[in-house]
Chains A and B, each alone.
Chain A
């Protein structure tokens, strides 16, 4: 009996959390395509003769360049995370020495340090890296890399992978062959999950970005801040919906690829 009451309460709490998370998102998404003046959210900007969807083209005109820049930045971060993170994960999965342990601790260290702090440090250390967006990308990568490496390390430590590789090496397979025929197919879900996490982090990053971005390197979340402070509700809602349009599929895919890795993503900074 007590068991059933407890489960019932847990279920109610779950529904409450779902409502708290989903209701504002639904309202914003509906608000971007429907006249919301009834709810008092729209003031003067809504025009009857403008079709609802036109807010999207308006937002795309305004922020298309920021959207493209954020997408490009996220892609850069994902590729860099794979390039420098994969070798690191491969070594961390197989090695057990003091240097590897240090790298492991150092990788997670930025997660305990606020992004704004790191942003100021990057700005002071490399003032010349701001205009090109180099420090911006470095700041994003700093927060994305730990998640990629963790997911990749888990995938590469999978039982039997090392033995399979040894057997293949003994049978005369080259390093490239072993990578393409054994490591990559077996570790693919973990690597993909890591890449998706890196994408999601970069796509939504604001703490580091707002300080490091110049008007010409402004990311979409930074542009969203300006929308919220200056634009009317339908424009802000449409912009937010566009943001969700990329973030939600990435999270959906992440759950499909590796549900277990999603749990570790709970520690995202």
Chain B
């Protein structure tokens, strides 16, 4: 503790630590307490989320959708992120600013935008009707593709910004040296860029996955037949006042999300 003698005292951390205990640890404890308050018992209540067809499907729907959206966001944003980090061109700052806009949006706004574009009388079907005589995309917003696009919409800034930061940290000298030594484009990707980017990729995936899995604004507005767990939790809690079941689902949701983040942090530490 030699260093801490000269630094500020631990008391400087006290307000934040107290706030985190009051606003985070205690509420999480109450979630567990409420789930174990059930007449069935804690573990039976947790197991029921998995054994009931409806909730299991909602849980798996969310996991698969979030994984697909995160993967798509990563692949789509990787090349533009490299461009933003490595090249100087006019409109670069403007592009970054415009791409960062969805960061400030809640899911409900994204849901509304999806309806405007791909609803029953959305912009795209209307234009398509005028151009091709067929309202292509009509009502797509309410189906799985619409939900996928809406989630992708708010993952774009998260993926672009964090990948751009990762590209900016890459050492260009290393790449240049490999090129002088005759490494092919693919070899340089495989042997230099990918290992260096790996922690950022894992971190980006974990973030976008957690955000998608927990988002419920967009699903609340859009999903008609494709159910995701946050919406189920909300309905169970508010409409049926089935607090124990809602808490059991919430524990599943939070655990999966935390597990993926933890896995990514481990990957980052190893890399």
Q: For residue A236, which residue of chain B has the nearest CB?
A: B112
| A114: chain B residues within 8 A (beta carbon) | 210, 213-216, 230, 250, 253-254, 257
Q: For residue B250, which residue of chain A has the nearest CB?
A: A117
Shortest Cβ gap from B141 to chain A (Å):
11
Given A113-B257, A200-B103, the answer on whether A88 and B16 have CB atoms closer than 8 Å is yes
Cβ contact within 8 Å between B100 and A255: yes
Stretch of A54-62, A98-106, A187-195 with 4 or more beta carbons under 8 angstroms from chain B: A98-106
| A145: chain B residues within 8 A (beta carbon) | 16, 19
| B107: chain A residues within 8 A (beta carbon) | 206-207
**B70 within 8 A of partner (CB):** no
Cβ contact within 8 Å between B13 and A99: yes
**Number of cross-chain contacts by CB at 8 Å:** 306
The prevalent SS among residues of A at the interface is helix
| A103: chain B residues within 8 A (beta carbon) | 13, 16-17, 20
Given A28-B113, A121-B27, the answer on whether A91 and B8 have CB atoms closer than 8 Å is yes
| Interface residue from B153, B168, B214 paired with A115 (Cβ < 8 Å) | B214
**B63 within 8 A of partner (CB):** no
- Contact string, A194-237, partner B, CB cutoff 8 A, digits 1/0? 00000010011111001100000000010011001100010011
Cβ contact within 8 Å between A87 and B12: yes
- The interface size of chain A toward B, counting residues with CB under 8 Å, comes to 97
Cβ contact within 8 Å between B26 and A125: yes
**B182 within 8 A of partner (CB):** no
| Interface residue from A2, A40, A85, A203 paired with B185 (Cβ < 8 Å) | A2
Q: For residue B159, which residue of chain A has the nearest CB?
A: A266
- Contact string, B1-33, partner A, CB cutoff 8 A, digits 1/0? 101100111101101110110111111111101
Residues of A212-269 whose CB lies within 8 A of B: 221, 224-225, 228-229, 233, 236-237, 240, 243-244, 247-248, 250-252, 255, 259-260, 262-269
- The interface size of chain B toward A, counting residues with CB under 8 Å, comes to 104
| Interface residue from B9, B31, B126 paired with A117 (Cβ < 8 Å) | B31
Stretch of B40-48, B190-198, B231-239 with 4 or more beta carbons under 8 angstroms from chain A: B231-239
| Interface residue from B33, B162, B246 paired with A267 (Cβ < 8 Å) | B162
Q: For residue B135, which residue of chain A has the nearest CB?
A: A40
Q: How far is the CA of A198 from the CA of B7 in the complex (A)?
A: 27
Q: How far is the CA of A210 from the CA of B111 in the complex (A)?
A: 15
By CB atoms of chain B within 10 A, which of A90, A122, A262, A263 has the most?
A: A263
Cβ contact within 8 Å between A85 and B116: no
Cβ contact within 8 Å between B80 and A17: yes
Cβ contact within 8 Å between B80 and A10: yes
Shortest Cβ gap from A35 to chain B (Å):
14
**B82 within 8 A of partner (CB):** yes
Q: How far is the CA of A121 from the CA of B31 in the complex (A)?
A: 5
Q: For residue B264, which residue of chain A has the nearest CB?
A: A112
**B106 within 8 A of partner (CB):** yes
Shortest Cβ gap from A100 to chain B (Å):
7
Shortest Cβ gap from B266 to chain A (Å):
13
Cβ contact within 8 Å between B83 and A106: no
**A22 within 8 A of partner (CB):** yes
| B26: chain A residues within 8 A (beta carbon) | 121, 125
Residues of A within 8 A of B (CB): 2-3, 6-7, 9-11, 13-14, 17-18, 20-25, 27-28, 31, 39-41, 83-85, 87-88, 90-92, 94-97, 99-100, 103, 106-107, 109-118, 120-122, 124-126, 138-139, 141-142, 145, 149, 200, 203-207, 210-211, 221, 224-225, 228-229, 233, 236-237, 240, 243-244, 247-248, 250-252, 255, 259-260, 262-269
20 A-B pairs with CB atoms under 8 Å apart are A14-B95, A20-B156, A21-B99, A21-B157, A23-B117, A39-B126, A40-B126, A88-B15, A95-B8, A100-B10, A114-B210, A114-B254, A120-B246, A121-B26, A121-B30, A200-B104, A224-B106, A247-B104, A266-B159, A266-B162
